Amino acid sequence: MLNAMPREDELEILRRAYAKQIVHAARASDPRLEDALAKLRREDFLGLGPWELMRFPGGYQMTPDDDPVYLYQDVPVAIIPAKGLNNGQPSFLTSLVSVGALREGERAVHIGTGTGYYTAVMSRLAGRSGQVIGIEFEPELAARARANLAGFCNVDIIEGDGSTAPLQPADVIFVNAGASRPAGIWLDALRPGGRMILPLTVRYITEQGHAMTRGAVFLITRDRSGYAARCVSGVHIYPCAGLRDEASEKALRVAFENGGFESGDLARITRLHRSDEIPDQRCWVRAPGWSLAYD
């Protein structure tokens, strides 16, 4: 009679299959992402099972038991279900990490680190010579992330408001929450050639009564003349607590209604300006102190 395969060996095979599927679904080309996902135990970042999996559009579904096998699929997992706060969909967040093109030796900031799973992915990309700073607003999640990432020598976790926390110069800033405007400290912190993944969103309430936002994700790149901007995807995402500006949100809502994805206007955006003095005909959106423009 053949001996059964050890449980951890089975899970290692499952993680490698999961990583391959997630990277493919994310349309990511960096082979390091697959390796990072394959070597991370997602269960280590999600607490004790059973777990609540987000099934669209029906809401959460509890796993039958605490077998980690249920976690290795392309599905968000609740981390604070009462607030509708999840460890996000792996393929989507992997795609955004990929857009940031984090290189070995670079410094990255992850705003909205949650329990640290995607921060750990970024840690693998930055390597031992790089650094990743995770900032988390929710005290419970910041404590969990700090514990989960204790063994990662190139990661520091800060509990606080990512829209106001002082930042050292960074090569990549990944804003993993919905903002209604770019924070000046984020733009200031970007090094020349630095990249920021920025969801710009408007608020809504889910059928379950949770606060949520929807909008578009932009890749902002600091160049010699300021900031290049490119829309990379649509998004539904948890709100960034410290960066919900009423005037900017109103302007964004009008912009999405008048020139959203179907119109093609988002695809024409090329620049982020730290000014609201750009002529209307050149702007997709203009709000106090900033604008997204077509040139």
Residue-level pLDDT, tens digit, the chain, 295 residues: 445 666 788 999 999 999 999 999 999 989 999 999 999 999 999 999 999 999 887 789 999 999 999 999 999 999 998 888 999 999 999 999 999 999 999 999 999 999 999 999 999 999 999 999 999 999 999 999 999 999 999 999 999 999 999 999 999 999 999 999 999 999 999 999 999 999 999 999 888 888 899 999 999 999 999 999 999 999 999 999 889 999 999 999 999 999 888 888 999 999 999 999 999 899 999 999 999 999 7
User: How far apart are the C-alpha atoms of 151 and 112, rounded to whole Å?
Assistant: 20
Sheet with 59-62, edge to edge strand ranges: 59-62, 52-55, 77-80, 85-87
Q: Are 28 and 19 in contact (CB under 8 A)?
A: no
- At residue 227, the pLDDT reads 98
Q: Are 185 and 166 in contact (CB under 8 A)?
A: yes
228 found inside a domain: yes
10 found inside a domain: no
What ranges make up the beta strands (E) of the chain? 52-55, 59-62, 77-80, 85-87, 107-111, 131-136, 155-159, 170-175, 190-205, 211-223, 226-237, 271-273, 283-287, 290-293
- Give me the domain span that covers residue 202: 89-244
In eight-state DSSP terms, residue 256 is H
CATH code for the domain in which residue 222 is found: 3.40.50.150
198 found inside a domain: yes
130 found inside a domain: yes
Q: Are 82 and 97 in contact (CB under 8 A)?
A: no
3-state helix, strand, coil in the chain (%, to 5): 35, 30, 35
User: How far apart are the C-alpha atoms of 144 and 45, rounded to whole Å?
Assistant: 8
- At residue 8, the pLDDT reads 80
158 found inside a domain: yes
55 found inside a domain: no
Phi-psi group of 105: left, alpha or beta (phi > 0 → left; psi -120 to 50 → alpha; rest → beta): left
User: How far apart are the C-alpha atoms of 204 and 210, rounded to whole Å?
Assistant: 8
- At residue 7, the pLDDT reads 76
Q: Are 135 and 149 in contact (CB under 8 A)?
A: no
Domain count, the chain: 1
177 found inside a domain: yes
